[in-house]
Amino acid sequence: MEYEMLVLDLDGTLTNSKKELTEPTRKALLTIQEEGKKVVLASGRPINGVLPLARKLKLQKYGSYILSFNGARITRCLDGTDIYNRTLPKNVIPVIYELISSISGLDLLTYEGDNILSGISVNEYTQKEAFINKMAVRQLADFTSYIQFPINKLLVTGAPPILEKVMPILKGHFHSLLNIYRSEPYFLEIMPQNIDKAYSLQKLLSSIGMSSEQMICCGDGYNDISMIEYAGLGVAMENAQKIVRETADFITRSNDDDGILHVVNTFMRQKPSLAAAPE
C-alpha cells in the first residue's frame, strides 16, 4: 500500500519535550509534500495554536490540512476555508460553567483569536495550556455573558484527582449530548457530540476522495486512539500511553528521538536520504 496522507498529533508526537519541531523532521515533511502527499496536523489545540507549526511546514503552499479542536474544525490551508466546523450547543455553556465553578481549583477555558479565555481562575494547568499554544490568557469577569459567539470546545483544567471525579459528573449530566474525555490527566475536553479525530478524518477523506487505507495516523495520547484505529497504518510513539501502544499497528521512536522522521523514512519515502529536502 502506498500511503498518501500522514496525520500527526502535535504534543508528544510531532514536537519534542521542549515543544520544538526538529529540522530533520521538518525537512522530511516538506519533502513528502513536494512529492504530492498530504500532511494533516490533528490536535486538540485551537487553530491559532496550530498555525505556527503549519507555517513551518508550509501547509498552505502544499494544500495540506489542519484538524483543530480534536476534530471539531477542519481547515484547508490552501485558502483557509473550513471544510468542516462543529460547535457546542449554546445552552450548555451556562450549565457547565455553574458546575465547574462550584468545585474549588478548576478553571474553564475557551478560545477567541489569539487569546485563551479563562472563565473562573487561572491555575497552573491553564498556564500550561497557554505555554503549549503560545497564546495569552485573558481573564473574563463574566464568562457566560461574554461567550455569545460559536465555540468549538470548552476545556476544564485542574489537578488530575479532581478531574477524575468531575468527568463522570459531567458525563452523567449531559449523557450523549456532548463528547467529554481527558486528553491529558489535567485537561478535560468538552466537545460536540460524536466529535473525535477519526470521525473528522472520515469527513476529510470523503471530501477529497481518499480512503483510510491510504492514511498513516501517529499519536501518543488517549484522544489519538480513534484515529490510530481508523488509519490504514496506526502508529504510536514510543513515549505514548500504554493503551495507545497496544492499539497501534506500529510503534515508532519517541518524540525526543525523531519518531515521525522514522515513520516517514520507513513508510513514505523510497530513498532515506534527506539531502534533496526543500528548504
DSSP codes, 5-59: EEEE-TBTTTB-TTS---HHHHHHHHHHHHTT-EEEEE-SS-HHHHHHHHHHTTH
The band of 278, judged by pLDDT with boundaries at 50, 70 and 90, is: very low
Reported as a single tens digit per residue, the pLDDT across 127-165 is: 999 999 999 999 999 999 999 999 999 999 999 999 999
The cell for 201 is: 478524518
Q: Looking at per-residue confidence, does 53 or 184 come out higher?
A: 53
List helix spans (H) across 152-208: 160-174, 197-208
CA dist 93 → 39, 47, 48 (Å) = 33, 21, 22
Q: Can you tell me the mean pLDDT for 19-28?
A: 96
Return mean pLDDT, the chain: 94
Mean pLDDT of 52-66: 97
Grid cell of 52 as nine digits? 505556527
Q: What does the pLDDT average to over 93-114?
A: 96
pLDDT of res. 274: 42
Give the residue among 55, 156, 138 at the shortest CA–CA distance from 97.
156
* Helix/strand/coil for 213: helix
- The residue-averaged pLDDT of 94-112 equals 97
Rounded mean pLDDT, 75-86: 95
Query: What is the percent of the chain with per-residue pLDDT over 70, rounded to a whole number?
Result: 96
pLDDT band at 272 (very low <50, low <70, confident <90, very high): very low
Q: What is the pTM of this model?
A: 0.88
pLDDT of 222 reads 86
Q: How confident is the model at residue 276 (pLDDT cuts 50, 70, 90)?
A: very low
Is pLDDT at 125 greater than 90 in this prediction? Answer: yes
List the grid coordinates of 96: 457547565
Nearest Cα residue to 25 out of 13, 43, 11: 13
**Does the structure show a pLDDT above 70 at 273?**
no
Q: Between 259-267 and 23-34, two packed helices, what is the crossing angle to 10 degrees?
A: 30
pLDDT at 270: 60
Per 3-state DSSP, the chain is made up of helix, strand and coil in percentages (nearest 5) of 40, 25, 35
Average confidence (pLDDT) over 225-251: 97
